[in-house]
């Protein structure tokens, strides 16, 4: 771990930590047989997708009654190399939130961007999310990827399944519900970066990031969350705080997710691809090649990160936090 300033504040929650070895992990190219496309869900959310060459312009959707939140619903959400998902915003929209309802994991190997506004972007797919080697971001504010089954606004929920009362979803999102017994995983093999002073968050059942994560002057939150729990996020000062609570403490919960959830091995193989440096053995277990170390549900594997603060959590009580690259922390 490296820091450019001794005054840098470095906060980590370690339940189990392997620091004596560093593994080299290669990059994964999603299988050419795996289809990555963006299609709107026919659920009344009114998300409109207009292709323009390799760019998909995303408009329409539903807004909260305060006009600050814009919601989209996708049947599928994926990108191949060279493609761009362009979320069109406006200066009044503080947050754009998209859900993927079809039960297919998102294979993203292109660019995700927000234009015409300074909106935070949230992408929710309980089935799983994988960022390929060519995945990147061009967002003006914070970015959150999650396999939660719902994002909370006070006592109201933006559910990943079923219908939502979008008008009631006012204010800022502050809770993520993981109601499945085993939440879906997130894999990052690309270069995910947000702008100066912005935040980057990955929240899922298992997190495997062998690519780069960058939040210069901002905060990175990476959390492997056990099933049937809530994650509450606030931002006192400049450091993100994360609190895990059993879902039984909530006065309400999002709609049930009953569609498939991709395993970590399924995300990595991508329907027929392969990964160098990461091995899926005959038993369907994911291993770091040459280390003999298995990546299990609830683990966090983190590669290179650059930013001002970093919070990593495995909250199941048995998860491992494994660093495979350099961590650079800069005082903000």
Residue 168, SS3 per DSSP? helix
Q: Distance between CA atoms of 172 and 169, rounded to whole angstroms?
A: 8
What pLDDT was estimated at residue 238? 38
Q: Distance between CA atoms of 330 and 332, rounded to whole angstroms?
A: 6
What pLDDT was estimated at residue 64? 98
Span 258-268, average pLDDT: 79
174: tokens are 């502050």
| Model confidence, pTM | 0.81
Which residue from 79, 162, 72, 78 is spatially nearest to 121, judged by alpha carbons? 72
| pLDDT at residue 163 is higher than 90 | yes
Q: 206-215, 271-280, 292-301 — which is least confidently predicted?
A: 271-280
DSSP H stretches of helix in 10-167? none
What pLDDT was estimated at residue 29? 41
What pLDDT was estimated at residue 196? 92
Q: Is 251 exposed, middle or buried (0-12, 13-18, 19+ CB in 10 A)?
A: exposed
pLDDT (tens digit, 9 = 90+) per residue, 227-259? 888 888 765 433 356 677 767 767 677 878 889
Q: List b or e across 135-165, with b for residues whose CB sees 16 or more CB atoms inside 10 angstroms.
A: bbbebbbbbbbbbbbbbbbeebbbbbbeebe
Q: Could you tell me the sign of the dihedral formed by the alpha carbons of 98, 100, 106, 109, in that order?
A: negative
Q: Distance between CA atoms of 153 and 146, rounded to whole angstroms?
A: 16
Q: Distance between CA atoms of 230 and 226, rounded to whole angstroms?
A: 9
Q: Compute φ and ψ for 130, nearest 5 degrees.
A: -130, 125
DSSP lists the bridge partners of residue 71 as 62, 97
Residue 249, SS3 per DSSP? helix
DSSP H or E segment with residue 308? strand 300-314
């Amino acid at each position: 771990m490296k820091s450019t300033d001794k005054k840098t504040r470095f906060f980590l929650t370690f339940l189990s930590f392997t620091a004596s070895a560093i593994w080299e992990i290669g990059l994964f190219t999603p299988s050419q047989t795996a289809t990555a496309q963006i299609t709107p869900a026919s659920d009344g959310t009114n998300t409109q997708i207009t292709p323009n060459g390799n760019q998909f312009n995303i408009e329409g959707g539903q807004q909260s009654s305060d006009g600050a939140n814009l919601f989209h619903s996708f049947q599928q959400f994926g990108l191949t190399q060279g493609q761009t998902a362009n979320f069109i915003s406006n200066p009044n929209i503080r947050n754009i939130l998209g859900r993927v309802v079809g039960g297919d994991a998102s294979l993203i190997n292109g660019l995700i961007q927000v234009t015409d506004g300074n909106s935070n972007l949230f992408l929710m797919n309980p089935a799983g999310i994988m960022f390929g080697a060519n995945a990147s971001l061009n967002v003006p504010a914070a970015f959150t990827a999650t396999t939660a089954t719902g994002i909370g606004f006070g006592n109201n929920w933006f559910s990943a399944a079923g219908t939502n009362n979008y008008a009631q979803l006012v204010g800022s999102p502050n809770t993520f519900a993981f109601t499945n017994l085993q939440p879906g995983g997130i894999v990052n093999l690309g270069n995910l970066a947000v702008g100066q002073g912005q935040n980057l968050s990955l929240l899922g059942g298992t997190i495997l990031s062998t690519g780069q994560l960058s939040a210069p002057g901002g905060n990175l939150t990476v959390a492997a969350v056990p099933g049937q729990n809530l994650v509450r996020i606030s931002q006192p000062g400049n450091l993100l705080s994360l609190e895990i609570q059993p879902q039984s403490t909530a006065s309400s919960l999002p709609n049930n997710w009953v569609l498939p959830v991709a395993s970590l091995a399924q995300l990595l193989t991508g329907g027929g691809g392969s990964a160098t440096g990461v091995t899926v053995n005959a038993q369907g277990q994911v291993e770091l090649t040459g280390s003999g170390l298995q990546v299990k549900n609830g683990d966090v594997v983190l590669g290179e990160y650059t930013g001002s603060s970093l919070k990593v959590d495995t909250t199941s009580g048995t998860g491992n936090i494994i660093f495979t690259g350099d961590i650079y922390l800069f005082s903000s």
